[in-house]
């Protein structure tokens, strides 16, 4: 285990994060948080955090002179895991320092665990928050919150691959880890150029959505923050009522479109640029992804058509198809892509709607997108494997190849995929149990525990009941929050990425 | 598909069931239900049912002259599934006719769905009941209830193999279906003799427990009924308060011992008879089974040591180690072996105890026993597969064989095992969802739905909350009861046995 090289790269990450932090603080201070006095506190908090971060990063960088620059698979996995675990600590620091500088002892960010939770929720593009009164937060903090999501969405890893061309093999390996799904053809070769193209695509979509939201009536600030959260399928908003606070239908539609786009395999945009439309049309995962979105939306819309819709800001609408379609589709897209924006309080919806929403939380978006969950392609393969197992019960000697498009799924991948799905469900169960145990008797119910567990594991954001659309995660105990942080990073990196660190053989050379 | 031969065998089953029914009715009428008048109603109900059953069976037998006597795997699966589905209908018939003859329109058995549920619960050795006031039921009905469990436990299938030596290959194939787990060495050859030996072992253990319970102070009738329910890991009692109604410590201990014995792979008794003690000592599943029982019991006992114990008959005990050990161990053994006898109302226990109890409901007993659940050996293999998948994340080229004892688990079995576990969990989820949808809004909570689903799928009996130790299943709607019946038979036959019938290729010749 080339641990020195891991630490060195981690140091680099801290420096890069600090620089971004600084840029955000300067931008916000120049444009939005112009007043002096208490409003300046966030700027100093960010300056101090950035200094601390780059100092720490510099020490890690210079102190770890690696024997070689080879980064094996184990090193890559360790680095990925530590990037998120350490990155969240650094990203949460300015939240905490802001309360210290401003002597805001009563604020939720005065508890370090809340800052860590918020930063982890940001970097993993989850969007679960411990905050209430989000509107009163200085613009600097809100922008940083959104930026952590945007960074997480692109993947600190892809950032590393794009920004630092000197890593060679690392790029390829970490990239495939970030892809978190069966490889797509045409993505892996020339990883460096590909990563740069992806970065530009991400940037292009970001600019497009920001302009669209501005034209739809949002302020530039809200447009930027919501775009960051959309493209990352994160879900942090600048308001307590989330997207429910914005009246125009155009805002809802724009965000729906870009959530769907963010949940598509980014490799397909690569194909699009190269004009390979047939490849896109034939993509099994894209078809399945859109089909699930369509069917789930239809079921949700029909099941709430007779219900009064209560918005996240308390407004209430009479039952009707208009609102049912608008909020049903928005919520379905938001939860399947694991964005987690809310317009209506779906916790009040009938059981069928909630059951469908929880199911699609498990499914998630496409592999190679910023979306969370098990991922559509895995669900498709898992279904095919289960069907073939069923057939084996009565035709043990018939071996039928399992195909996804033109590619045959290897036996290793078959086993790997259902192991992944089983692992996801077991982690969901373990998370639910942990929350029940960590909270005092009577404070936690099964629905809350179960949906908090899956919403964090699948990087969605809101759950049901006490962690529903109009609730937040502040009331949970510190152990519960830590457990949820672990679920978020485990889910973000694909079940095995964190668990491997617990495998005894991971630390042995053989 | 040799459908005629399937129907013919099904006819035979109906005839055999009718004969047993008749024997039970005569025995009960001669010994216990001697009075004339209303007490005779059950006898006539059984006589009518037996006549109807053997008539139906006879027609099926004679009308289906098969072209050949070859019974393929598909035919065997279909026959197994139909045996339980049709067998439950016939077994539930006397319950229903009893209310018709006695004009007991208010009784729960006057609803056919309750009769079917009760009979299915019996034949699948589940033990979930729709009854209250069990003590007031005539002895004939109580004995029949217990007998359905005993029959189910031995396996109508094994009965067929032992009683009817003319089936040749059928025996072997159905036997391996009934084993519902990786084959044990030494069991499969000479299936006919083996089945007879197993039958004698089952009978021997039954006699031993009956005598033991009689000596411990139970009446002969109660001893027989409880023994039938213990050996089948069924859990039907002759009292509403289940085993909680019997004071003596010796009763508790005897039932614990025989529940543990019933949850052991019966192949091991075969080894015992042949003096192969080393094979027993080295058996991986036996060790894991006892280890899980031990650890789970310890956790449950410790977690309830500070709690007042409320018994199923309402008696209450002060907190203390004595009762905690007695009722903690009894409940753990009862739920892991999927028996479902209750002494204390474990629904009042702390979350940790309940969580452990639900977890071991999933695990279940050993393969090749009468116990339910996923089965210990599958859990062991699944764990090893998951660990190997974890290792593959960082060492993709290292292939380590997975061993159970001396045997290597084949890739097919690895995939098959985790597919089985995943299937179990998905069925559990589907069952939970179905119950939530089938019940009116507000009548069903998540805990009730989830534990009702797993307790029926794993053939345990009681669940938590509204289907807890002192509750019953009568309040559920008919669709819910039907769904639970399907879960019971699906779980009893090993997930795929019922689902295969839904596979389109099952009905195609190729």
* Residue in A392, A418, A447 closest to B418 by CB: A418
At A36 the pLDDT is 60
Q: What is the pLDDT of residue A181?
A: 38
Q: Do A418 and B414 touch (CB under 8 A)?
A: no
Q: What is the model's pLDDT at position A190? A: 55
Does one domain contain both B276 and B344? yes
pLDDT score recorded for residue A198: 78
- Provide mean pLDDT across the span A265-290: 87
Residues A292 and A383 reside in one and the same domain: no
Q: Tell me how far apart the alpha carbons of residues A156 and B93 are, in angstroms, rounded to a whole number.
A: 66
Place of tokens 């239908």: A249
Q: Is B425 on the interface with A (CB under 8 A)?
A: yes
Does the beta-carbon distance from B74 to A394 stay under 8 Å? yes
pLDDT of residue A179: 37
The nearest CA of chain B is from the CA of A322 a distance in Å of 25
CB of B86 closer than 8 Å to CB of B18: no
Give yes or no: residues B229 and B284 share one domain.
no
pLDDT confidence tier of residue A238, bands split at 50, 70 and 90: very high
Residues from chain B that touch A416, judged by Cβ atoms under 8 A, are 389, 392
Does B395 sit within 8 Å of A503, measured CB to CB? no
Which pair of structure tokens corresponds to residue A480?
A: 């519960």
Q: Write out chain A residues lying below 8 Å of B389, CB-based.
A: 415-416, 419-420, 423, 496
In this prediction, residues A344-356 reach a mean pLDDT of: 95
Task: Tell me if chain A has a CB within 8 Å of the CB of B303.
Answer: no
User: With bands split at pLDDT 50, 70 and 90, how would you rate the model's confidence at B351?
Assistant: very high
- Taking an 8 Å cut-off on Cβ atoms, the answer to whether A423 and B386 are in contact is yes
A296 and A420 in a single domain? The answer is no
Q: B440 and chain A: CB distance < 8 Å anywhere? A: no
Q: What share of chain A is helix, strand, coil (3-state, %, to 5)?
A: 70, 0, 30
Is pLDDT at B171 greater than 50 in this prediction?
no
State whether B82 and B227 are in the same domain: yes
Q: Based on the domain organization, do A126 and A258 belong to the same domain?
A: yes
In a domain, B368, yes or no: no
- Which of these, A114, A159, A229, A131, lies nearest to A19 by C-alpha position? A159
* B194-216 mean pLDDT: 90
> How far B392 CA sits from the closest chain A CA (Å)?
9
Residues of A in contact with B386 (CB under 8 A): 419, 422-423, 426
A385 lies within 8 A of chain B by CB: yes
Categorize the per-residue pLDDT at A52 as very low, low, confident or very high, splitting at 50, 70 and 90. very high
- What value, to the nearest 5°, has the Cα angle with vertex A400 and ends A397 and A402? 145
Q: Write the residue in A396, A422, A446 that is nearest to B422 by C-beta.
A: A422
| A to B CB pairs, distance under 8 Å | 120
- Domain membership of residue B370 (yes or no) is no
B124 and B224 assigned to the same domain: yes
For residue A505, give the nearest of B391, B503, B505 by CB distance.
B391
Q: What is the pLDDT, as a whole number, of residue B31?
A: 85
Confidence of residue A160 (pLDDT cuts 50, 70, 90): very low
- List the single best residue of A415, A421, A432, A440 to mutate versus B (max B Cβ within 10 A): A415
The least confident of B94-108, B110-124, B219-233 is: B94-108
Do residue A506 and residue B73 have CB atoms under 8 angstroms apart?
Answer: no
Domain C-terminal end among B223, B245, B262: B262
Question: Which pLDDT value is given to residue B185?
Answer: 41
* pLDDT at residue B158 in the model: 61
Cβ of A393 within 8 Å of Cβ of B497? The answer is yes
Position B59 pLDDT exceeds 90: yes
Q: What is the CA radius of gyration of chain A?
A: 22
Q: Which residue has the tokens 């006992």?
A: B301
pLDDT at B190: 55
Summary mean pLDDT of chain B: 87
Option in B350, B387, B419 nearest A385 (CB): B419
The CATH number covering residue A444 comes to: 1.10.287
Q: Is the pLDDT of residue A353 over 80?
A: yes
Q: Do A496 and B441 touch (CB under 8 A)?
A: no
Query: Which of A396, A416, A421 is facing B422, going by the closest CB pair?
Result: A421
Is B399 an 8 Å CB contact of chain A?
A: no
Residues of B within 8 A of A496 (CB-CB) are 389-390, 393
For residues A502-506, average pLDDT: 86
| pLDDT at residue A500 in the model | 85
| A414 interfacial to chain B (CB closer than 8 Å) | yes
Query: Last residue of some domain: A236, A262, A288?
Result: A262
Most confident region among A132-141, A219-228, B273-282 by mean pLDDT: A219-228
Residues of A numbered 10-29 whose beta carbons fall under 8 angstroms of chain B's beta carbons: which are they? none
Please report where in the chains the tokens 């199923």 appear, as a residue. Answer: B312
Considering only the beta carbons, identify the residue of B415, B421, B445 that sits closest to A415: B415
**What tens digit of pLDDT does each residue of A188-213 get?**
445 567 677 778 889 999 999 999 99
> Do the chains contact at A446 and B441, CB–CB below 8 Å?
no
A421/chain B closest Cα distance in angstroms: 8
- What does pLDDT average to over chain A? 87
Length of chain A: 510
SS3 B71: coil
Question: How many helices and strands in chain B, by DSSP H and E?
Answer: 20, 4
Distance from CA of A13 to the nearest CA of B (A): 22
Whether A369 maps to a domain, the answer reads no
Six-digit token pair at B88?
């439950």
* Neighbour count for residue A336 (Cβ, 10 Å): 32
The answer to whether A55 contacts chain B (CB < 8 Å) is: no
Looking at B332, B363, B394, which one is the last position of a domain?
A: B363
Within a domain: B432: yes
Which residue range forms the structural domain that includes residue B503?
Answer: 376-507
Task: Name which of A352, A419, A447 is nearest B437 (Cβ-Cβ).
Answer: A352
pLDDT digits (tens, 9 = 90+) for B33-56: 776 656 667 899 999 999 999 999
* A385: pLDDT strictly greater than 70: yes
Regarding predicted confidence, which is higher, B409 or B466?
B466
Question: Which residues in B lie closer than 8 A to residue A350 (C-beta atoms)?
Answer: 441
Residues B62, B16 share a domain: yes
In a domain, B501, yes or no: yes
Flag the least confident range among A2-16, A58-72, A79-93, B339-353: A58-72
Q: What is the pLDDT of residue B408?
A: 85
Contacts of B384 (CB under 8 A, 6+ apart): B402, B404, B409
Q: Which candidate from B73, B441, B496 shows the least CB-CB separation from A390?
A: B496
- Res. A155: pLDDT tops 80: no
Q: What are phi and psi of A475, to 5 degrees?
A: -70, -15
Specify the pLDDT at position B35. Answer: 65
Which chain B residues touch A509 with a CB distance below 8 Å? none
- Whether A154 has a pLDDT exceeding 70, the answer reads yes
A304 in the same domain as A258? no
Q: Using CA atoms, how far apart are residues B372 and B460, in angstroms rounded to an integer?
A: 7
Q: What is the pLDDT of residue B279?
A: 84
Q: Do A396 and B73 touch (CB under 8 A)?
A: yes
Interface of A with B in 458-487 (CB under 8 A): none
| pLDDT at res. B2 | 84
pLDDT tens figures, A453-489: 999 999 999 999 999 999 999 999 999 999 999 999 9
State whether B503 and A390 contact (CB < 8 Å).
yes
pLDDT band at B100; cut points 50, 70, 90: very high
- Cα A334 to the chain's mean position, in Å? 12
Cβ–Cβ below 8 Å for B505 and A386: no
pLDDT tens digits, residue range A1-28? 788 988 998 999 999 999 999 999 999 8
Closest-CA distance of chain B to residue A153, Å: 23
Residue A455 lies in a domain: yes
Per CB-CB distance under 8 Å, the chain B contacts of A355 are 433, 436-437
- The verdict on A98 and A166 lying in the same domain is yes
How far B375 CA sits from the closest chain A CA (Å)?
17
A446 and A388 within one domain: yes
Structure tokens at B213: 């319970």
Q: How many domains does chain B have?
A: 3
ipTM: 0.91
Scanning A344-383 for CB atoms below 8 A from B yields 350-352, 355, 382
CA distances from B462 to A331, B46, B334, B448, B456 (A): 37, 28, 10, 10, 8
**What's the pLDDT band for A167 if we cut at 50, 70, 90?**
very low
pLDDT of residue A405: 81
Q: What is the 3-state secondary structure (H, E, C) of A70-94?
A: CCCHHHHHHHHHHHHHHHHHHHHHH
Distance from CA of B425 to the nearest CA of A (A): 8
Residue A277 domain flag = yes
Task: Kindly state whether A496 is in contact with chain B, defined as any CB-CB distance less than 8 angstroms.
Answer: yes
Quick check: is B438 in a domain? yes
Mutation site, A1, A81, A382, A393, interface B, largest B CB count within 10 A: A393
pLDDT score recorded for residue B286: 94
Q: Does residue B338 carry a pLDDT above 60?
A: yes
pLDDT band at A37 (very low <50, low <70, confident <90, very high): low
Instruction: Tell me the average pLDDT across B61-71.
Output: 81
Mean pLDDT of B175-183: 37
Overall average pLDDT of the A393-415 stretch: 83
- The answer on B416 and B326 residing in a single domain is no
Query: CB burial class (10 A; 0-12, 13-18, 19+) of residue A278?
Result: exposed
The reply to whether residue B350 touches residue A74, judged by beta carbons under 8 angstroms, is no
A415 and B500 within 8 Å at the Cβ level: the answer is no
Segment 219-278 of chain A within 8 Å of chain B by CB: none
Buried b (16+ CB within 10 A) or exposed e, B148-169: bbbbbbbbbbbbbbbeeeebee
Q: Considering all CA atoms of chain B, what is the largest pairwise distance in Å, rounded to the nearest integer? A: 78
Residue-wise DSSP of B361-409: HHH-S-TTSS--SS-HHHHHHHHHHHHHHHHHHH-TT-----EETTEEP
Query: DSSP characters for B75-140?
Result: HHHHHHHHHHHHHHHHHHHHHHHHHHHTT-TTSGGGSHHHHHHHHHHHHTT------S-GGGS-HH
Q: How far is A497 from chain B (nearest CA, A)?
A: 8
């Amino acid at each position: 285990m080339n641990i020195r090289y891991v630490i060195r790269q981690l140091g680099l990450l801290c420096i890069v994060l600090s620089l971004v932090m600084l840029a955000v603080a300067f931008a916000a201070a120049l444009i939005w948080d112009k007043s002096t006095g208490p409003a300046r506190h966030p700027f100093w908090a960010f300056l101090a955090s950035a200094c601390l971060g780059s100092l720490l990063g510099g020490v890690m960088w210079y102190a770890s002179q690696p024997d070689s620059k080879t980064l094996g698979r184990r090193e890559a996995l360790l680095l990925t895991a530590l990037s998120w675990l350490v990155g969240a600590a650094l990203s949460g620091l300015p939240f905490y320092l802001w309360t210290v500088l401003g002597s805001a002892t009563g604020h939720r960010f005065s508890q370090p665990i809340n800052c860590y939770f918020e930063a982890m929720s940001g970097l993993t593009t989850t969007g679960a928050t411990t905050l209430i009164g989000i509107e009163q937060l200085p613009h600097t903090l809100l922008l940083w919150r959104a930026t952590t999501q945007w960074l997480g969405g692109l993947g600190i890893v892809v950032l590393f691959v794009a920004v630092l061309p000197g890593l060679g093999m690392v790029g390829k390996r970490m990239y495939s880890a970030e892809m978190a799904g069966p490889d797509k053809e045409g993505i892996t070769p020339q990883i460096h150029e590909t990563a740069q193209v992806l970065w530009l695509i991400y940037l292009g979509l970001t600019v497009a959505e920001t302009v669209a939201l501005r034209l739809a009536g949002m302020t530039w600030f809200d447009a930027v923050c919501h775009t960051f959260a959309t493209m990352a399928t994160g879900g942090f908003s600048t308001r307590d009522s989330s997207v429910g606070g914005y009246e125009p239908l155009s805002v809802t539609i724009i965000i729906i479109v870009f959530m769907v786009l963010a949940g598509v395999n980014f490799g397909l945009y690569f194909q699009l640029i190269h004009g390979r439309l047939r490849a896109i049309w034939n993509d099994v995962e894209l078809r399945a992804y859109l089909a699930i979105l369509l069917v789930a939306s239809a079921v949700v819309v029909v099941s709430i058509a007779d219900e009064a819709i209560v918005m996240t800001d308390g407004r209430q609408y009479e039952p009707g198809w208009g609102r049912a379609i608008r909020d049903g589709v928005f919520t379905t897209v938001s939860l399947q892509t694991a964005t987690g924006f809310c317009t209506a309080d779906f916790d009040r919806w009938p059981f069928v709607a909630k059951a469908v929403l929880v199911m699609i939380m498990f499914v998630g978006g496409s592999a190679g997108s910023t979306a969370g969950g098990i991922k559509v392609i895995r669900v498709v393969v898992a279904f095919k494997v289960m069907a073939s197992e069923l057939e084996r019960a009565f035709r043990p000697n018939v071996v039928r190849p399992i195909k996804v498009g033109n590619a045959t799924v290897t036996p290793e991948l078959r086993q790997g995929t259902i192991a992944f799905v089983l692992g996801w469900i077991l982690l969901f169960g373990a998370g639910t149990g942990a929350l029940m145990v960590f909270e005092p008797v009577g404070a936690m119910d099964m629905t809350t525990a179960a949906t908090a567990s899956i919403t964090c594991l699948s990087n969605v954001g809101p759950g049901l009941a006490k962690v529903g659309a109009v609730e937040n995660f502040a009331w949970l105990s510190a152990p519960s929050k830590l457990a949820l942080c672990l679920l978020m990073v485990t889910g973000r990196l694909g079940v095995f990425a964190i668990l491997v660190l617990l495998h005894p053989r991971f630390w042995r050379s053989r």
